[in-house]
Amino acid sequence: MLWVKLHEFLGIFLFISGLALTLWALPSLFREPSHRFFRALRGLAYTAVFQVLLGIGLLLFLGLRPRDPLHLVYGTLLATVWHFLGGLEKDGWFYQSLKNPPARTGPWVAGGMLFALGLLIRVYLTGG
């Protein structure tokens, strides 16, 4: 089944990329993330949103269910967290929408990426 294989491939891609971006974000505790980091993070978020939509399609149209229903919740929450973190760049949509934006976004990004790593592990372990 092509759609199932695509979902599996994207899952592996997101796991590896999410781990790599989390490691890239750790120095952000002490300095601001680069524009390249935010661009990569937004790309990861968009891929995760596509992955969630693909998973919902597999559920609705083919009746395929994950081993644990929490897989759907963790995946959706992970895509959402990455999307909001990607908007924390100084001229990003989320940063601009904050009433009192933080002077330094680096620690927030690093902490958010560590939180997202926990979600990523839960998504991976509850799938299947």
pLDDT of residue 127: 87
- pLDDT for residue 128 is more than 80: no
Compute the mean pLDDT over every residue in the chain, rounded to the nearest whole number. 96
pLDDT of residue 17: 98
Q: For the segment 82-111, what is each residue's pLDDT rounded down to a tens digit?
A: 999 999 999 999 999 999 999 999 999 999
pLDDT of residue 49: 98
> What pTM, to 2 d.p., does this model score?
0.95
State the average pLDDT over residues 66-71. 94
Cβ atoms of 41 and 102 closer than 8 Å: no
**40 band by pLDDT with thresholds 50, 70 and 90:** very high
State the average pLDDT over residues 115-119. 98
pLDDT of residue 1: 87
